[in-house]
């Protein structure tokens, strides 16, 4: 079993839709959670960073962490074609030497 599970997609949605991306994890010691966006043949770009359970909002993006269920989500409101990319969840242990454990990424396509 992988430490972090993420549906690879592809996920296709119409422009303007609300997108829900999710990751589950098995190690309850993960304390820091991140979402990265990666365009084709580019490096990952940090979108959201959270520590505690609950919601964090930044513009059209909302990150949700449920530590009791070991489940994290990223919601994208009013999705745009420019949101088409691969979304990677990543997490880190407390004092884990900053080593990130990544999900496999979900490929998102927002269509006109």
Judged by CB, which is closer to another protein: 16, or 54?
Answer: 54
Give the integer Cα–Cα distance in Å for 15 and 33.
Answer: 27
Give the integer Cα–Cα distance in Å for 25 and 3.
Answer: 6
Return the ∠ at Cα 64 (arms to 61 and 68), rounded to 5°.
170
Size of the site for another protein (CB under 8 A): 22
Q: In angstroms, what is the minimal distance from the CB of 16 to another protein? A: 27
Q: In angstroms, what is the minimal distance from the CB of 98 to another protein? A: 6
| DSSP labels, 8-53 | ---EEEETT--EEEEEEES-TTEEEEEEEEE-TTS--EEEEEE-SS
Site string for another protein, 16-35 (x = CB under 8 A): ----------------x-x-
1 binds another protein, rule: CB under 8 A? no
Residues that bind another protein (CB under 8 A): 8, 32, 34, 36, 41-46, 49, 88, 92, 97-100, 102-105, 107
């Amino acid at each position: 079993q992988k430490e972090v599970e993420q549906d690879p997609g592809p996920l296709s949605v119409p422009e303007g839709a609300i997108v829900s991306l999710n990751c589950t994890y098995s190690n309850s010691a993960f304390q820091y959670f991140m979402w990265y966006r990666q365009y084709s043949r580019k490096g990952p770009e940090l979108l959201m960073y959270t520590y505690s359970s609950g919601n964090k909002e930044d513009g059209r993006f909302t990150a949700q962490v449920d530590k009791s269920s070991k489940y994290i989500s990223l919601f994208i409101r009013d999705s745009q074609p420019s949101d088409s990319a691969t979304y990677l969840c990543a997490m880190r242990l407390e004092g884990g030497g900053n080593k990130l454990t990544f999900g496999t990424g979900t490929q998102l396509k927002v269509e006109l």
